[in-house]
């Protein structure tokens, strides 16, 4: 199934689409307000972009520096080439502690690596502790947004889920009541957890520490209660110095939700006395992307989700229409790197309007990369054959002024003389499902121009 | 100054009045533009579909047709953006560089090259601007809402100089209309919905004449306006500025 098919399904529910669009636009508008209030915001973007470019150009050096520092701090460092290794390493650490109960917070990477099913099938109970993530975990769904994983759900959907799994009253939709139920439910999990897994927003090479930004504080609760903390990070999370961090914390929350800063910005540098801290550093396709000069900049992403909130396609098609861990415009340039065939329709799920590139706090040229992916996919024959052939034919037509004139005339007269029921038939012409065709004029411009020339000559 | 008019294929066939208005408007501003008959297309539909290689002969034909001119002006920002940005795929001969730097959107040409800031005329209507993405974010013809709250731009200024005109303020100033070239067919459902939402914003805010600088977006929006039989006229900005309509 391609993006268009999944998107058509989502947009088929007009009311839900309106609601989804308006909710995310509200977040985009909040972002605008927060951004306008910082006069140097564009300079910050430029600075962040340069820091990330620089880091990526010396990633090996910074990774080594980070590892060295972290080890000096008493942290265990693990390297994972792919998802399978990542999952195996984490399971191994959990088993070494004879643990069976795990809490998890703020990690798209473990989502990307499908850690949960792996742990569950090995008898480990793993609970996502962020509210949104817990909701979709109970529903056995994937997140539909980077920052707002359950944004595709209305409070009625959540009420139904909690009725089924947490024993709230049927029909309960009061967010206060629902949140409280989740809180009580999670509290028991926090207290029982032996191991806490967290994501990483930034890893500082200079200090060997990792930084996690949250609003709910669940990462901190989990990490501080459990005996073992496992932080999982992609290799692209590095920044060189602690002093660089301020640039990114100023950009992240403003871009994500319009907050000046996230409620919690927690630094984890070393394990507390008697406890253990592990960091799993994961590649999983990232060095491959690093090796593609046209797409390298996609690794600068700090996962703020702003490109999703602003994307007019995402807002109307929902995150699941992308069928990839990272949806939206950024997902559409990350996913073909992982599986070109499976995700071949995603770079086409855009009008190339460029809003994503303008909103991106680290200045990733997202829409330019979408355009470039289209060429790569076209060359690799990963676009529909019908499209390929019609484009080839069009190519011929458009290099010959004569054939072009005739073709245009045929099209114009075709519309004029064919019955409306045919030109506007759904199956022949998807344009006409929602739009009228232009009314063909008597004369084309070139005919008019020629006539003018003749009369004045 | 040797100026050529580039009329995109669909404008040639379906909106000749836009080509005519562009030509006449330029003439009123003292520029006599030619229409080279050998012109076809800039190749954008192919390239945006992932068939850039198949578009190269079209690019070359475009260069052959237009490299002799000081300026090539088109009533469509997206074609201009394509020529400027994506003809980098050709070997950068002087002719190629010439067409890339000489390509101008009509409104940009009037503002930047001719230095015109006011157009004499009257248009007593509530006019809603559709800011086309390629012109706005690609060619920087108007401010982006992602960057600044200030609503300013070339077309807004030119239209604003007409007597009696009233520009409507939209809830979402510069959101894409969803046309997107072949996107309107390959993602028909989302494209239609985006267009409907754009039109609804104009409707809500009192637009009676919907205009813009790029006929492709306007064709899409007009299709929706007509399907919904709304009392809203859709006109290319050249038609308004030329004073052919009132
Ligand atoms: S690509 Fe940019 S806007 Fe999108 S999530 Fe990443 S950092 Fe944010």
Provide mean pLDDT across the span B33-51.
92
Q: Does A8 touch chain B (CB under 8 A)?
A: yes
Optimal mutation site among A435, A448, A452, A454, interface B, most CBs of chain B within 10 A: A435
Distance A28 CA to ligand 1 centre (A): 13
The answer to whether the CB atoms of B50 and A352 lie below 8 A apart is no
Q: Is B35 on the interface with A (CB under 8 A)?
A: yes
The reported pLDDT for the residue numbered B18 is 96
Q: Is A363 helix (H, G, I), strand (E, B) or coil?
A: coil
Q: A357-385 pLDDT, tens per residue? A: 999 999 999 999 999 999 999 999 888 87
Q: What is the pLDDT of residues A286-314, one digit of tens each?
A: 999 999 999 999 999 999 999 999 999 99
Q: What is the pLDDT of residue A418?
A: 62
Residue with CA closest to ligand 1 atom 4 = A307
Residue A307 Cα to ligand 1 midpoint, Å, equals 5
Calculate mean pLDDT across residues A397-422. Answer: 68
Minimum CA distance residue for ligand 1 atom 2: A360
Using an 8 Å Cβ cutoff, are B213 and B141 in contact?
yes
pLDDT tens-digit readout, A157-168? 999 999 999 999
The model's confidence at residue B88, banded by pLDDT at 50, 70 and 90, is very high
Interval B208-224 mean pLDDT = 96
Mean local confidence (pLDDT), B41-53? 91
In angstroms, the CA B7 to CA B84 distance is: 16
Residues of B with Cβ-Cβ distance to A411 under 8 angstroms:
13
* Model pLDDT, residue A275: 96
Q: Which chain B residues have a beta carbon less than 8 Å from that of A313?
A: 187, 190, 194
pLDDT at B83 exceeding the cut of 90: yes
Read off φ and ψ for residue B130, nearest 5 degrees: -105, 110
pLDDT higher than threshold 60 for residue B246: no
Tell me the pLDDT tens digit for each residue of B129-171: 999 999 999 999 999 999 999 999 999 999 999 999 999 999 9
Give the pLDDT confidence score for residue A414 in this predicted structure. 64
Q: What is the pLDDT of residue B102?
A: 97
What residue owns the CA closest to ligand 1's atom 6? Answer: A301
Which amino acid residue places its CA nearest to atom 3 of ligand 1? A360
Angle at A57 between CA A51 and CA A60, to 5 degrees: 110
Q: Which range has the worst mean pLDDT, A18-22, B81-85, B241-245?
A: B241-245
Compute the distance between CA of residue A46 and CA of residue A49 in angstroms, rounded to an integer: 5
User: Which strands, in side-by-side order, build the sheet including B3-5?
Assistant: B33-34, B3-5, B71-74, B103-105
CA distance between the termini of chain A: 59
Task: Point out the residue among B7, B61, B146 whose CB comes nearest to the CB of A445.
Answer: B7
With beta carbons less than 8 A apart as the criterion, state whether A29 and A257 touch.
no
Lowest-pLDDT range, A142-146, A374-378, A393-397, B69-73?
A393-397
Consecutive H or E run containing B123: none
Looking at residue A236, what is its pLDDT?
97
pLDDT over 70 (residue A181) = yes
Query: What spacing in Å lies between the alpha carbon of A352 and ligand 1's midpoint?
Result: 16
* Mutation to test the B interface, candidates A386, A391, A397, A437, most B Cβ within 10 Å: A391
pLDDT at A386: 76
> pLDDT confidence of A410, banded at 50, 70, 90?
low
CA distances from B152 to B51, B142, B143, B149 (A): 35, 6, 6, 9
Task: Please state, in angstroms and rounded to a whole number, the distance separating the CA atoms of residues A90 and A231.
Answer: 10
Ligand 1 atom closest to residue A308's alpha carbon, by position in its atom list: 4
Point out the least confidently predicted range of A59-73, A90-104, A440-454, B219-233: A440-454
Q: Give the separation between CA A273 and CA A355, rounded to whole angstroms.
A: 48
Q: How far is B160 from chain A (nearest CA, A)?
A: 25
DSSP-derived secondary structure letter, B163: B
**pLDDT given for residue A329 in this prediction:** 97
Confidence of residue A457 (pLDDT cuts 50, 70, 90): low
Note which residues in 49-108 of chain B have CB less than 8 A from chain A.
49-55, 57-58, 60-61, 86
Q: pLDDT for A203-256, tens place per residue? A: 999 999 999 999 988 888 888 889 999 999 999 999 999 999 999 999 999 999
Exposed/middle/buried for residue A92 (C-beta within 10 Å: 0-12, 13-18, 19+): exposed
Residue A423 has pLDDT above 70, yes or no: no
Q: Is A217 in CB contact (< 8 Å) with chain B?
A: no
Has residue A62 got a pLDDT over 60? yes
pLDDT the model gives residue A437? 85
Cβ separation A387–B182 shorter than 8 A: yes
Dihedral (CA of B96, B97, B99, B104) sign: positive
Q: A5 C-alpha vs ligand 1 centroid, how far in Å?
A: 25
Q: Is the ipTM of this complex over 0.90?
A: yes
Q: Distance, CA A378 to ligand 1 centroid (Å)?
A: 26
CB-based contact B146 A355, cutoff 8 Å:
yes
Residue with more model confidence, A277 or B182: A277
A430 at interface of B, judged by CB pairs closer than 8 A? yes
Best probe of the A interface among B34, B51, B133, by most A CBs < 10 A, is: B51
Residue A48 in contact with ligand 1 by CB distance below 6 A: no
Interchain proximity A430–B14, CB inside 8 Å: no
d(CA B21, CA B244): 7
Percentage of residues in chain A with pLDDT exceeding 70?
A: 95
- Number of residues that make up chain B: 246
Cα dist from A457 to A64, A339, A450, A451, whole Å = 78, 61, 10, 10
């Amino acid at each position: 199934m391609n993006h268009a098919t999944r998107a058509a399904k989502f947009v088929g529910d007009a009311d839900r689409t309106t609601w989804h669009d308006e909710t995310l636009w509200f977040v985009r508008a909040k972002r605008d307000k927060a951004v306008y209030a910082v006069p140097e915001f564009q300079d910050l973007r430029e600075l962040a972009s340069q820091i990330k470019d620089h880091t990526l150009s010396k990633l090996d050096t910074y990774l080594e520096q980070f590892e060295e520092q972290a080890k000096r701090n008493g942290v265990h460092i693990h390297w994972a080439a792919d998802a399978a290794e990542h999952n195996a390493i984490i399971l191994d650490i959990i088993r070494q502690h004879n643990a069976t109960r795990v809490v998890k917070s703020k990690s798209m990477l473990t989502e990307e690596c499908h850690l949960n099913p792996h742990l569950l099938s090995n008898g480990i109970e793993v609970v996502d502790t962020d509210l949104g993530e817990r909701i979709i975990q109970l529903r056995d769904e994937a997140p539909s947004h980077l920052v707002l994983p359950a944004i595709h759900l209305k409070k009625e959907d959540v009420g139904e889920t909690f009725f089924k799994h947490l024993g709230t009253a049927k029909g309960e939709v009061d967010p206060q009541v629902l949140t409280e139920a989740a809180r009580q439910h999670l509290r028991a999990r926090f207290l029982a957890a032996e191991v806490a897994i967290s994501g990483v927003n930034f890893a500082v090479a200079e200090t060997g520490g990792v930084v996690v930004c949250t609003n709910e504080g669940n990462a901190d609760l989990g990490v501080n209660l459990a005996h073992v903390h496992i932080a999982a990070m992609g290799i692209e999370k590095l920044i060189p110095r602690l002093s660089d961090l301020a640039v990114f914390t100023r950009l992240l929350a403003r871009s994500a939700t319009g907050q000046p800063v996230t409620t919690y910005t927690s630094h984890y540098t070393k394990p507390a006395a008697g406890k253990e801290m592990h960091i799993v550093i994961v590649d999983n396709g990232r060095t491959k992307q690093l090796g593609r000069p046209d797409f390298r900049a996609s690794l600068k992403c700090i996962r703020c989700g702003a490109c999703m909130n602003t994307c007019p396609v995402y807002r109307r098609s929902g995150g699941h229409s992308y069928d990839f861990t990272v949806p939206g415009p950024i997902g559409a340039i990350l996913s073909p790197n992982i599986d070109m065939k499976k995700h071949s329709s995603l770079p086409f799920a855009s009008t190339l309007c460029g809003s994503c590139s303008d909103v991106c706090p680290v200045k990733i040229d997202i829409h330019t990369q979408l355009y470039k992916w289209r060429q790569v996919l076209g060359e690799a024959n990963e676009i529909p054959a019908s499209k390929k052939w019609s484009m080839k034919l069009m190519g011929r037509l458009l290099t010959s002024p004569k054939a072009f004139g005739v073709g245009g005339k045929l099209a114009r007269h075709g519309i004029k003389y064919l019955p409306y029921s045919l030109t506007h038939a759904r199956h022949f012409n998807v344009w006409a499902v929602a739009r009228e065709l232009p009314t063909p004029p008597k004369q084309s411009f070139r005919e008019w121009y020629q006539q003018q020339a003749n009369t004045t000559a | 100054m040797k100026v050529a008019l580039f009329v995109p294929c669909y404008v040639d066939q379906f909106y000749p009045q836009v080509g005519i208005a562009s030509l006449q408007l330029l003439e009123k501003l003292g520029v006599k533009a030619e229409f080279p008959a050998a012109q076809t297309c800039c190749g954008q539909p192919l390239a945006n579909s992932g068939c850039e290689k198949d578009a190269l002969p079209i690019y070359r034909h475009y260069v052959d047709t237009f490299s002799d001119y000081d300026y090539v002006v088109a009533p469509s920002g997206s074609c201009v953006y394509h020529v400027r940005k994506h003809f980098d795929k050709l070997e950068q001969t002087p002719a190629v560089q010439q067409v890339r730097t000489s390509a101008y959107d009509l409104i940009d040409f009037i503002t930047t090259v001719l230095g015109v800031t006011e157009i004499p005329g009257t248009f007593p209507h509530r006019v809603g601007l559709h800011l086309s993405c390629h012109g706005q974010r690609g060619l920087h013809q108007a401010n982006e809402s992602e960057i600044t709250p200030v609503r300013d731009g070339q077309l807004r200024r030119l239209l604003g100089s007409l007597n009696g005109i009233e520009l409507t303020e939209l809830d979402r100033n510069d959101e894409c209309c969803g046309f997107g070239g072949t996107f309107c067919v390959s993602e028909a459902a989302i494209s239609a919905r985006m267009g409907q939402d754009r039109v609804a914003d104009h409707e809500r805010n009192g637009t009676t004449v919907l205009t813009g600088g790029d006929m492709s977006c306007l064709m899409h929006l007009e299709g929706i306006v007509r399907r919904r039989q709304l009392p809203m006229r859709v006109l290319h900005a050249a038609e308004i500025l030329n004073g052919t309509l009132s």
